[in-house]
Amino acid sequence: MVSQLNARHKPKFQLLTFYKFVDIPESELDMVAQEHLDFSRDIGLKWRIYIGTEWISSTVTGNIGQCKAYRMFLDQSKYFKDIADIDTKLTRVDGHEFPRMSVKIRNEIVTLGVKVTADQVKKYKKEITPTEFKEILESDKKDDYIILDMRNDYEYRLGHFKNAIPAWTVNFREVPKLLEQYGKYAEWKKVIWYCTGGIRCEKAAVIANQLGDTEFLSIQWGVVKYVNEFNDGNWLGNLYTFDGRVSTQVGDEVTHTTIGECLYTNEKTDNCENCRYPLCNARIIATEKAFKKHLGFCSKECYEWARLDGFVKDAPWDKFDYKNIRLQEGGMEQIQLHLDRKLANTEWKFLTSQKEDNIVEC
């Protein structure tokens, strides 16, 4: 799914995404989280907030009035006031991007097996502003840096900064043990690493800068801040977001470049979907035409599993009612006949599920 708003359109909803490293006593976590949940639900916000002893991370949507009330609530909190990036990462949207509201308690803001305190963040974090990063990308100094994309593989393939290379971290928890390897690869260069909202890389940079000689820099407030501020073509492709937009266009007809390649045909596309076999649900880049031709399955394996159990996610373009038919007598035979009629002669590029074992969000 690709989302783009017309330049003349003025949406009346806002998407707020922010984080803050803050020390919250464990004895107060339940109370703080419950207050946050009650207030957010009462004013009508939707999606997800994480709270832990070291942090808060929030991504919510609401109309302008709801978001204003939420920000006043934060400003009155002894833990959540003075959040620096709340304005710079605000995005206007047409409506709620999520179906519900939840507040969850997590042990760590990012699972690295190591907690950080607010004081450690102040002491060890090293970051550059989007403006400073832009100057590096557009100058001869770029050869003095290694730029690492710390997101999931499919996010990198959908879009990334110029000159960035994927870190190939299967799980963000691998970062501490890979720090020495990153340092050796960088040699005398500095490392700039980035993620969508900045949260993962800021914590990782704190840990990295305590351990070795290589300097690890995070981009202040991540990709979201940069692409909100600059329309310069330094970002290639679309930006994957963990909300209803999924694949969001960056740039305009002059600066936008499509780099995603269709899973099935290798054609260039910005479209991103999920495999329709629920137990897979792989994030896949694919043209709408090819995705529909394969009935939304990423692989032969997912098609064959769907034949066995009849589980297929709904899609507006596929009118076959898998859920209800599966419950009827002889329903599985109908599903198998339908799938075989559509796919029996399909040549599959991938025989096994394309699901990534570990998905990290930020």
Those residues whose C-beta lies under 8 Å from the C-beta of residue 37, and which sit 6 or more positions away, are 49, 101, 102, 103
Residue closest to 354 by CA, chosen among 272, 276, 259, 281: 281
Q: What are the start-end ranges of the E strands in 6-116?
A: 13-21, 46-52, 55-63, 91-93, 101-105
pLDDT tens digits, 46-70: 988 999 888 898 889 999 999 999 9
Give the model's pLDDT for residue 111.
Answer: 64
- Helix or strand (DSSP H, E) at 37: helix 29-43
Q: Dig out the tokens for 199 from the structure.
A: 């949260």
Give the model's pLDDT for residue 2.
Answer: 52
CA 174 to chain centre: 18
Residues carrying CATH 3.40.250.10, the chain: 118-237
CATH topology of domain 118-237: Oxidized Rhodanese; domain 1 (3.40.250)
Residue 133 phi/psi, 5-degree rounding, is -65, -40
- Helix or strand (DSSP H, E) at 149: strand 145-149
Sign of CA dihedral 270, 275, 281, 282: negative
pTM: 0.76
Three-state secondary structure call for residue 159? strand
Residues paired with 49 in a beta bridge: 58, 103
Give the model's pLDDT for residue 297.
Answer: 98
Those residues whose C-beta lies under 8 Å from the C-beta of residue 67, and which sit 6 or more positions away, are 14, 16, 45, 60
Spans in the chain with pLDDT lower than 50: 5-7
Q: How many CB atoms within 10 Å of residue 65?
A: 12
- What's the 3-state SS for 264-316? CCCCECCCEEECCCCCCCCEEECCHHHHHHCCCCCCHHHHHHHHHHCCCCCEC
- What's the chain's Rg over C-alpha atoms? 22
Residues carrying CATH 3.30.70.100, the chain: 2-105
- The conformation of residue 66, written as its DSSP 8-state character, comes to H
Active site residue 195: yes
Residue closest to 353 by CA, chosen among 300, 313, 286: 300
Q: Dig out the tokens for 189 from the structure.
A: 């260069």
List 67, 195, 201, 262, catalytic entry: 195
CATH says 2-105 is which class?
alpha beta
Give the model's pLDDT for residue 199.
Answer: 77
